[in-house]
Amino acid sequence: MTDSQTPERSRRRARTLGIAFLLFALGILILFMPSTEPGQQTRFSFVETRAEALQIGDLIFPTRIGLSLLAVLTAFTGAWQLVRGFGRANTVLGIVVGLFILAFLTWAARDQSMNLTGLIKSSLLRAVPITLAALSGVMCERSGVINIGIEGMMLTGAFASAVAASVASSVWMGLVGAMLAGGLMASLLAVLAIRYKVDQIVAGTAINILATGLTGYLNSRFLQRTPELNRPPTFSAFPIPGLSRIPIIGPAVFNHSFAVYLTMALIVIIQVMLFYTRWGLRTRAVGEHPRAADTLGVNVFLTRYINVMLGGMVAGLGGAYLVLSSVARFDELMTAGKGFIGLAAMIFGKWNPIGALGSSLIFGFADSLQTRLAILSIPIPSQFLLMAPYLATVIVLAGVVGRSRPPAADGVPYEKE
Amino acid sequence: MSTVLELKGITKRFPGVLANDHIDLSLEKGEVLGLLGENGAGKSTLMNILYGLYAPDEGEIHVRGAEVRITRPSDAIALGIGMVHQHFMLVPVLTVTDNVMLGMEPAHFLGFLDRSVAARRIQEVSNRYGLGVDPSAVIEDLPVGIQQRVEIIKLLYRNADILILDEPTAVLTPQEVEGLFKVIRSMVSQGKSVIFISHKLKEVLEISDRIVVLRSGRVAGTTTSAASDERDLAAMMVGREVILSVPKEARAPEAVILQVEDLAVRDDHGAMAVKGISFQVRGGEIVGVAGVQGNGQTELVEALTGLRPIDGGRLEIAGRDVTRATPRKVTEVGTAHIPEDRQHVGLVLDYPITHNLVLNSYYLPPVARDWVIQEEVINERAERLVAEYDIRTPNTFTPVGNLSGGNQQKVIVARELSRPVKLTIASQPTRGLDVGSIEYIHGQLVRKRDEGAAVFVVSAELDEVMSLADRIIVMYEGRIMGVVAAEHTTKEDLGLMMAGVAPSSKGTHISALQSAG
């Protein structure tokens, strides 16, 4: 808001962006061109083995020409931005970054083959748990409670889903167990933060530590001795009739398990609920100005309790996804920081569900690109590739896309007069 | 007329304080009741009881003849009682419609909001009482005066017919105050009843039918506007005769002490808050800055005292260039600073009075000797200053956070003015203080002027600026709208300039401008 109100500032920002775009173009020329031999060719394939989508052939082109084309396109965008300026600078920034990544892929896949459909598919799959973590954060923080314990809630959710799904041999019971466990951990945060007004960062950290210790103990005490408790079934893929036959996109987006569709549905539902329902309006009012809501008869404490518990359930689902989608077992510390990356996605997505999905996809893409590149044996140390998702987090948090504004009462306990 | 509200023997005790002591009060249909009293007289406590935010220890509340119990704001709302709080209860990022309907949202099934129904009703209410509010506007884009009307719409939307307005004029320009009074009159003529809480005598006299004065938690008197004047009310409020104007003699200004040239300063968001202004303050004169809050005054003072980096221009104090000086440097050239936010900027609330009094000199002899703080020196100094500046405290080791607002301000004044200063910068020096403390602080500022120091006062209270200052600078959106001599100007002219209307080209203003330049 405030940024756009000062014309001089936005002019300066527009100019900076234009120069940045030109630097991207230069980057393509300097970083990728020199190590490309004239005769090399890049092959992008769009195959998804198990899918029944309409097949299309591979895209094969000379690497040098592809890179030059992309560099010219990027440079042109930069020049246009400098001279004329685009209305929607952030969208254009996204496009330019996309071009740069495409150039990178072109270079990385020279004399080799890169499966773009597979890349999109795995980006989406890796984005799902991050999205659920971010959604959990959105639910809590929109009502004014910082939830740094998402990681812990996911971990307990993962544990509970493994046990529940194994015992009942049903993935659905796994989801129920995860939601209960996540909700239980969240109710602990809610009581600490709302009733006892404990510092919310401390309370969230305590939950993370508790979850690590608790699941670690239960795992070694029970699951490892009775492996039947840790043998859950997994979701099977359910291609959506018709849509999954679309070339390229179909197998990448519409051939997933029910858990992925559920996540997409949750995003839309929460987005709509937040901005078009009574619950959403009250939630946002409580997160922005709890006293104002209180004076109008809105129950601030109840609203926060409900939102934190719902948020915990969503985080639990995120944990369940990790177990029930592919791994089919609980492992200690299996969330591996996804809860925290989800928090970053929430901030990057400006506390909106749709935005959270968008930023989660970026993190998911960085993550899956990293594994692909490791296979392609490109001359970048694998340690750097492993850093990619976290580097993306840091860059995003440093505010590449402009400042995002948290709910005004985020993290502030409400005291009645 | 019928009585719509009656309070009988309301008593509220807080630990160590009797905030309300058997207060009786009644409100008739279609009248404006002025509730007058100093800070801490118990006005807010009483109204918070009425609105269900506090529970009374004793007493009864009757609404339209029936005794009621109000334990939550929603009880009050259900009884038709609404309150506009001193600090607005609006969510800045939401629209007018969302803010107004919150808690009483018209909705379809599953709780989907029906914003059009609410917006239509808001438009209706707005038209009926002449409020002129656009339901689709976002609160943070609206000027304060309109935000206040949104607060009033919130009450009318809920069919409130007893409206409590808590210090409603504190943030308004004189023109906006006039607009508010029109709205109040329109509401009263249509059968609403209004309780108008204020400590500003003139406004209470102008708008109220009857006036109830509170002092130390008790009703000190009940009167009508027709039967009383400012002097009576002030005496009732304070319990003794009060001098309302600031007594000061004419004095010829001396050499320039504060010189500001083309000063430009940004606010916290990077937007230009002060847009290239120039002025001078001479020794032996008080220059006041008038303006609606948020027009660059805060940033100007912070720039002058070295607390905020400046974007362009030049600053000079007593002949020394202080354009890029640190706050300590500014202090050392002889500047005293009474900051706007006394609790966060002016004092360390957890420190005792003794240490707060040496925050600007702890590193200098005799307080510090070879890196060691001399506690005896500090204690002696505190004893002397507490007596000299009449700071009311159990002892000098009391944390300043436990003092009343007036005494906190006296600690700052004692620290800043008890040393030889050439320039005194005071920002909102009497905000939230009672009449007695205001008198005292004003006296101290005039004393500094009479000693030959330059005094620079920023205040949101137009009366204060007009009675204290020799010359008045009016700021609007970071620029100087005009400079006038205090004795040659009127409240109306200042109000227009505060609203961004350039001073008229005829008459006294131009001559005042020239003589000031």
Express each pLDDT in B127-171 by its tens digit: 999 898 999 999 988 888 899 999 999 999 999 999 999 888 877
- A409, closest residue in chain B (CA to CA): B91
Query: In a 3-state reduction of DSSP, which class is residue B464?
Result: helix
Question: What's the pLDDT score for residue A149?
Answer: 96
Q: Which contiguous run of DSSP H or E holds residue A171? A: helix A171-190
- Given this model, what pLDDT does residue A44 score? 87
Residues B302-352: tens digit of each pLDDT? 999 999 999 999 999 999 999 999 999 999 999 999 998 888 889 999 999
Q: Does A375 touch chain B (CB under 8 A)?
A: no
For residues B243 and B17, give the distance between their C-alpha atoms in angstroms, rounded to a whole number. 28
Q: Which of A277, A285, A297 sits opposite B91 (nearest CB)?
A: A285
Positive or negative torsion for Cα A306, A309, A311, A313: negative
CB B346 within 8 A of CB B414: no
CATH of B3-238, one of 3.30.70.20, 3.40.50.300, 3.40.190.10, 3.40.718.10: 3.40.50.300
Mean pLDDT to the nearest integer, B419-438: 87
Q: A7 and chain B: CB distance < 8 Å anywhere?
A: no
B279 reaches A (C-beta below 8 A): no
State the sign of the Cα–Cα–Cα–Cα dihedral B39, B42, B46, B49. positive
Confidence at residue B85, expressed as pLDDT on a 0 to 100 scale? 86
Q: How far is CA B471 from CA B46, B134, B489, B512, in A?
A: 40, 39, 10, 9
The pLDDT assigned to B113 comes to: 93
Separation in Å, CA of A55 to nearest CA in chain B: 44
Pairing of strands B162-166, B81-84: parallel
**CA-closest candidate to residue B105, choices B91, B92, B119, B93:** B119
Which of A 9-28 lie inside 8 A of B, CB atoms?
A: 9
Are B139 and B95 in contact, with CB atoms under 8 Å apart?
yes
Cα gap B242→B249, rounded to integer Å: 19
Is A296's Cβ below 8 Å from some Cβ in B?
yes
- The yes-or-no verdict on residue B397 having pLDDT over 60 is yes
pLDDT of residue A268: 96
Question: Does the fold of domain B243-334+420-517 match that of domain B3-238?
Answer: yes
Going by their DSSP bridges, the two strands B312-317 and B320-321 should be labelled as antiparallel
Task: Kindly determine whether residue B102 and residue A288, on different chains, have CB atoms separated by under 8 Å.
Answer: no
Closest CA to B244 of B500, B16, B64, B435: B435
Q: Which residue of B has its CA nearest to A292?
A: B89
The more confident residue out of B435 and B77 is B77
**Sheet of B66-68, strands arranged across:** B17-28, B3-14, B58-63, B66-68
User: Searching chain B, which residue's CA lies closest to the CA of residue A299?
Assistant: B103
Q: CB neighbours of A381 closer than 8 A, spacing ≥ 6?
A: none
* pLDDT score recorded for residue B456: 97
Instruction: Categorize the per-residue pLDDT at B507 as very low, low, confident or very high, splitting at 50, 70 and 90.
Output: very low
pLDDT higher than threshold 60 for residue B285: yes
> What torsion, rounded to 10 degrees, do the Cα atoms B242, B246, B249, B254 define?
150
Chain B contact for A401 (CB, 8 A cutoff): no
User: Domain extents for chain B?
Assistant: 3-238, 243-334+420-517, 349-418
Instruction: State the pLDDT at residue B514.
Output: 41
- Residues in a beta bridge with B480: B475
Domains of chain A in sequence order:
2-111 (no CATH), 118-397 (1.10.3470.10)
Q: What is the ipTM of this complex?
A: 0.84
Q: How far apart are CA A378 and CA A388, in angstroms?
A: 15
Taking the CA atoms of A242, A246, A250 and A255 in sequence, report the sign of the dihedral they define: positive
pLDDT of residue A97: 81
Q: Which residues does chain B have within 8 Å of residue A417's beta carbon, measured at their own beta carbons?
A: 48, 53-54
Both tokens of A124, joined, read 């989406």
Name the strand (E) or helix (H) holding A142: helix A116-142
Q: Does A289 touch chain B (CB under 8 A)?
A: yes
| Superfamily per CATH, domain B243-334+420-517 | P-loop containing nucleotide triphosphate hydrolases (3.40.50.300)
Q: What's the sign of the alpha-carbon dihedral A338, A343, A348, A353?
A: positive
pLDDT per residue as tens digits for the range B185-239:
999 999 999 999 987 888 899 999 999 999 888 999 999 999 988 888 888 887 7
CB A286 within 8 A of CB A410: no
Which of A278, A296, A408 faces B111 most closely, judged by CB atoms?
A: A278
Q: B157 touching A, CB under 8 A? A: no
Give the relative orientation of helices B435-450 and B230-238 as an angle to the nearest 10 degrees: 110
The Cα of A288 is separated from the nearest Cα of chain B by a number of Å equal to 6
Residue with the two structure tokens 């930023």: A359
- Three-state DSSP class for residue B233: helix
Q: Test A1 with B74 for CB contact under 8 angstroms.
A: no
Instruction: Please list the ranges in chain A whose pLDDT falls under 50.
Output: 1-5
Chain B (84-103) residues lying within 8 Å, Cβ to Cβ, of chain A: 85, 88-94, 98-99, 101-103
- pTM listed for this prediction: 0.77
